[in-house]
Structure 1
Amino acid sequence: MTTDTSTWQVSAKDRQERLERWRRMLAGEPAVASGRPQRRRNPETNWATGVWLHAAARAEMGLELTAWEQAFLAPLADVLGEEEVRAMGRAYREQRDAGAVALVPQAVTERSFDEPFTSEEAAAHMRAVGELAAGLSNVASVNRTRLLAGEQLETPEFTEAAAACGYGLTLFGGAEFGAAEVGQESAGADGEAQAAGGVAADGMPPGSLTSFRARLQWDGFRCHEAAGDQWSTADEIYWTAACSTVGYKHTTRTRETDRVSSGNEYSIGGDHSTGSVAFFDANFTGNLSAMVITCWEADQSDAAWYDALGKALAESVDSLALIDFVLNFVPGSDLVGWMITAMDFLATLWEHLQNKDDLILTRGFALNRSDVKALYYTEGRRMTLGFNARSTGMGHFSLHVKYTGDTPPGPPPEGSFSFIATNWTGLLGSPFTRDLDAACLVPGTTTDVYLFKGDTYVRYDCNGEEIRGGIRSISSGWPALRPPFTSNLDAACLVPGTTTDVYLFKGDTYVRYNCSGESVRSSGRISDGWPGLRNTPFTSNLDAACLVPGTTTDVYLFKGSEYVRYDCSSERIRHRQAITAGWPRLTDTEFAHNLQAGCVVPNSRHDVYLFKGERYVRYAM
């Protein structure tokens, strides 16, 4: 390292200020004194920063660097210039000798400068950091069914920790929806590793990992609470993204959105140079992509800052080139450990480089083919990401990201969550697009279901997507019923083994209704007619009921977070358990408790519809 390659032209005074900022960070102090809470740091996860500083100090001392060290130093040297990198290495060496380094792990500070770090050591440390993930509140493992259901991805604990640390990392897990490599293991719905067998997870034969164009774009943002800089109570907001997957690296900085104030939605003008709203647009051939998105509040920075920011983004995308970098640079490294280490390194870099612009929050993600497929089948193909830094005085924003790429190969995920109004198009304009009371198959048909709400019902043709005969009152369409069964039913289901009868439930009573003869065959208290349910909560106020697909004897009854499978022929409970235990793909979703209706999918021996609010799920048993 002999020349200064930086194009970030700054004064000697500014360079000295950045160096002093770095010295404060090394000592465990905030880079810039302010009234805001100090960024929370964990030296044990800031291992990459320590290795980088160790290499910088060795370079400053004139020691011969390994090819591995040179590759590690090069990206940031391109941002700051080799002279400043040497100065940072010297500052680290001096403070380490004085015992004044609190930023990086002790294992790094105790290392002799005569000993370079190796890629094998890097891999071991990455795995060790990955083992810490369960105890890091700003690292979240989210069941991808939450993404599929369009639910909020952040918990209050994650939000608080991400704001305190300056960044949050989200990884998705649970049932796989995408393809797996030949022989690759993936986590099954029961949480155990399952080898990819004769058919890959996306329905393709092993070895035929079909590529497709995956594209993510900015879709606007909402300001819940403005950050407000020293000049104004309104914000000028822009976003940066750095993304990587096999054969693809991309960085972008959006145009600024001016006069951003609390309580309003805003569009994003796209890249500051090209206007493109896409921040990820790649031929998705691998199993993994990584991305880092940062929300900034602009404060009159100059062109030199934005040039340096672009270089820093390029450095970060090199750091996040997970396929090439992790598998070759640090062979065998654990994904979670590397992502945590990379995010900590980038958070440290941002804090050191930060100019007049305020960094609000950084979010990191690792997406595989299953996650992309889940996003594709999410309502509107959109996910919302929280950038909530209220606790550090930097406001609260929600970023909307939209998938606009190709349809991922293979069938839709089992358990795709959708809005009733989206896929039951014949119900549009009616009250039956949300908050159903009950549902059941129409006896003797392979296409129709009854849907009940309030004192009305419809007979819906699932093939023709239309209501047959219009909306009718229960009392007119089911003339033998008397109150309380003429409104606000709790549940309904086809009587097992018949093509004419339906069970209706209300409170602690039920009726068996013959639809062909329009008569009540039997009625009474649930505890009397269903004796196997006695001494359980299932004798009153059921949430939902449905026939067990493929049987002529059994029904499912749901209440709260539990369900039973009941054998109507022997009057006994086959099993009673949590919904999430018997229906594992509903874990961490709104369908894990307090369902509103359910019924067997017409002409199916395996699938069930479950309804709640304005959504439904088709679940394959």
Structure 2
Amino acid sequence: MIFGLCLPFGANERHQEAALSSVLTRWEPLEAVRGQKGRTFMAGAGDATPEQRLEKLRGLLMGTRRDTRAARSLARYDKGNVLIGAALHAADRLREGKAPTDLERQLLAVMRAALPDAEIKGWGQVYREAVAKLGNLDVIPQTITSRPVSSGYSMADLVAGFGPVAQEAASMPNTAVVDPEVLATGKSIDSPEFNAGTREFGFGATAFSRSRQAISGQTAENEEATETADAAEDGERTAPSAFNVKLELESFYVHRAVGDQGGGRDEIYWCSASASDKAEGPAYKSQEFGAVKKGDRREFSASNRTVFNGKASTHVMLSVYCWEADQSSSAWYDELHKNLKTLSKTIFETWKWQLYTGVLPGTEVAGWAGEILKLGIFLMEHLRNYDDLSCARAIVLDQFDLALMSHRKTALWHFDGDGHHELTVRYSGDKVPFPEGTLEYVVYEGDNASAPITLPWKSMGAPALASFKGKLHALFLRASDQAVMWTVLDGQTWTPPVRVRTWRSYYPPAMAVYKDKLYCTIVATDGKMVWSVNTTGTSWAETTRSRNYNYAAAPALAAWRNQLWQVDVDLNQKIYENYYDGTDPLWSRSEQWHPWETKRPVGLTTQGNTLWQAVRGTGSREGRVDLTYCEFSGGWKDFATPSNWRVTSGPTLAAHNNRLWIFLRNTSGVLTSSTHSGSAWSDTQPVGFGGEIKPMDEANPAVHNGKLYVAYRRPAPA
């Protein structure tokens, strides 16, 4: 998953003169303030004084200070800002001498990066005074303000109550849960609507939608068997091997310049801190880019562009900042972000099993991202006197995202804050394996293919796809017990797979839409063909036996000529066609229209008024591709294919973008495609973007919402 938060601040505010808490009288008015354990906190040129910081906090909590975009934005959350509240609650408990909880220890460490304990206690006192006077604070959730100082707030409390926080964050215009297909195709992940949200709020969070590994929403009759089988598969999972990740800042494009506060300059530099589960990244700072203006594209120095270069096995975390170059960094800056990074790591360790499989759900990631970085906003808002941070994004790339980047090589991240800079990040490390899970698919928009997109589920055969009632349905066979599993792509997210009744098969199922109903046929474990219908998209009917013959390969289905056609292969490798017209439960008599034989499933599709059929030959035609078609009259006719085509699995067919597509697994095991425009076949091309795909068997295509989806299974990584 990737998540980002932009932190642009408003113009300089005037600071009110006010009497300070008695705790402030102990501080000396020096550039350097002696902290706990002998540490010295150096005040940078743009730092606020302790007095200014305390008055900023008092105004924020009492509702009298809303003169910056950050302050106004924090007040828009009802359930959120929980880490900010927990930090102030921890400060109050420190003042009272209470032992901190596990979470409070880390929050205090974050604050101690820039503040001495005496000032932290002062913050706690101001917080408690505001709660005593107002009861509810519009920038701190009631889950915190209702808690007495005697009651600590732990990591377990945070996790248990985080659901409403994530839901609220997901409803905000500055939160986007992005379809992973966007990253796979190399497009920018940031929509205009999301960028508008970041400008409005001053920050924004982005995550990629993920399918949950856990099975849910299944019927009671299937639940026990499903959980048992899934538990067996879970026991097989191990952490992936480490790989070397290298991320470089390549260039940035200026959509909107940031005028320097002192006179319209726009001098930009970039900073970054990073770490993986295996290594620490450098404290990166770019060269300064002077006189930056709208329309410029600036390149990072070839000798100074690497923000991470090290081993990882589950994820890499980065914080990337775009600064105006009008104030030097403060001494506390690196220490603050080091501790924020530690806090972030602890939170994500709570879901370590999900990072291993690459399936952290997007809304939760966006929620956590927002909370961690709002804590950073809150602290820098109070610690700094100059608002010279244009935009910042905290980014977490899990193994899935790293695998996509290793295929695409580049990614585009927008930093749309006071200015709007589009950053190009280049991946130049090892090719990253996808997380264990054998199902994958590629999406074609027109003729442009995405990188492979993995799903975290295993199958013992190629998946079947069909578009029905605006959703893409997939059936596959669970490897542990041959159960037929069903998942649906609903918008951007695949639903958790559920077992379909008690169906089992040793051969992949087939699906097609006919007369506004979704049909499937499967070869039952006794070798007989059965079929079922789904009228609503939400449940499958009991199966009905269509044939008493035994079959040796998966069937194929397609709607044609107001009939549902099926092609199957018997134990003698003979190919038969039959159809169903909906008038009675019986299918037509099976007919053998061709002398061809095959050991593999047959490809079948409809293109306009034509039904197409593709076969991998055997015997004297071993590995060759035979193609035939049938129109309304004239029977079946052979259609020439290039003589050099050789395949190791059954060819499959689809009609897309006004052409007939054929998918071929060549003799090197690489998945390729060719198209026919009506005059000739195109040269075969590897399927997908960024490298060769080597599926285990057939790749099944389906057109959905104008895009062509091609699904297959691949060998699990060693």
In the alignment, residue 266 of structure 1 is paired with which amino acid? R
Q: CA RMSD in A?
A: 4.5
The reply to whether residue 346 of structure 1 matches residue 376 of structure 2 is: yes
Q: Are residue 105 (structure 1) and residue 141 (structure 2) matched?
A: yes
2:325 aligned residue: 298
Instruction: Flag the 1:71–1:162 CA change in 2: closer, same or farther, 3 A.
Output: same
Partner SS, residue 256 of structure 1: coil
* Counterpart among 125, 135, 140 of residue 176 in structure 2: 140
| Corresponding residue number in structure 2 for 1:317 | 341
Residue 216 of structure 1, CA deviation: 1.2
Name which of 45, 57, 60 aligns with 1:22.
57
Cα contact 1:361–1:388 (8 A) shared by 2:
yes
- The one-letter code sitting in structure 1 at the alignment partner of 2:433 is P
Cα distance in structure 2, aligned partners of 1:114 and 1:264? 56
Matched-pair contact (CA < 8 Å) for 1:297–1:359: yes
Q: 1:44 to 1:551 in 2, by over 3 A?
A: same
Query: Residue 79 of structure 1 corresponds to which residue in structure 2?
Result: 114
SS at match of 1:58: helix
- Tell me if 1:401 matches 2:425: yes
Map of 2:158 onto structure 1: 122
Q: Does the alignment pair 1:235 with 2:266?
A: yes
Output the amino acid matched with 1:256: E
The 5 Å alignment of 1:149-548 reads 149-174=185-210, 206-207=237-238, 209-250=240-281, 251-269=283-301, 276-286=304-314, 288-299=315-326, 301-302=327-328, 305-322=329-346, 325-326=349-350, 335-378=365-408, 381-389=409-417, 394-409=418-433, 414-415=441-442
Which letter maps to 1:383? A
What's the CA shift for 1:174? 4.9
Amino acid at match of 1:240: C
Alignment match, 1:554: 604
- With the length of structure 2 as denominator, give the TM-score of the two structures: 0.53
Task: Give SS of 2:41's match.
Answer: coil
Cross-structure match for 1:468: none
Secondary structure of the structure 2 residue equivalent to 1:42: coil
Secondary structure in 2 matching 1:320: helix
Q: Specify the SS of the correspondent of 1:79.
A: coil
Q: Secondary structure at the match of 2:79?
A: helix
Q: Whole-Å Cα distance in 1 between the matches of residues 676 and 59 of structure 2?
A: 56
**Secondary structure of residue in 2 paired with 1:399:** strand
Contact 2:175 2:366 in 1 (8 A): no
Question: Residue 234 of structure 1: CA displacement?
Answer: 3.3
SS in 1 for 2:139: coil
Distance 1:105 1:237 in 2: 36
The size of the alignment, in residue pairs, is 442
Counterpart-to-counterpart distance in 2, 1:65 and 1:603: 60
Mapped contact 1:243–1:291 kept (Cα < 8 A): yes
User: Deviation at 1:114?
Assistant: 1.6
Q: For residues 323 and 388 of structure 1, do their structure 2 counterparts lie closer, same or farther at Cα, with a shift above 3 Å needed?
A: closer
| Residue 13 (structure 1) shift | 7.1
Does the 8 A contact of 1:49 with 1:345 survive in 2?
yes
Q: Is the 8 A contact 1:5 1:82 kept in 2?
A: no
1:29-52 CA deviation, whole Å, 9 max, x = no partner?
A: 657x46999435414210011011
Question: Alpha-carbon deviations, 1:300-319, whole Å to 9, x = none?
Answer: x24xx432222222122112
Change (3 A) 1:36 1:63: closer
**Alignment partner, residue 584 of structure 2:** none
2:128 is matched with 93
Structure 1 residues 249 and 354: alpha-carbon distance in aligned structure 2, compared to 1, 3 A threshold: farther
- What's the secondary structure of 2:42's corresponding residue? coil
- Correspondence for 1:599 among 654, 658, 661: 661
* Gapped regions of structure 1 (runs ≥ 5): 177-183, 188-192, 424-529, 534-549, 573-591
Counterparts of 1:93 and 1:164, CA distance in 2: 30
Higher helix share: 1
Matching residue's letter, 2:411: M
Structure 2 stretches lacking a partner, 5+ long: 1-34, 217-225, 353-359, 451-559, 564-599, 614-628, 634-653, 678-684, 689-709, 713-718
CA–CA distance in 2 between the matches of 1:555 and 1:422? 20
- Is the CA contact 1:139–1:170 (under 8 Å) kept in the aligned structure 2? yes
The percent of aligned pairs where both chains have the same amino acid is: 22
1:417–1:296 distance in 2 versus 1, CA, 3 Å: farther
What is the letter of the counterpart of residue 192 of structure 2? P
Q: Tell me the TM-score normalised to structure 1 length.
A: 0.61
In the TM superposition, what is the alpha-carbon distance from 1:78 to its structure 2 partner?
A: 2.1
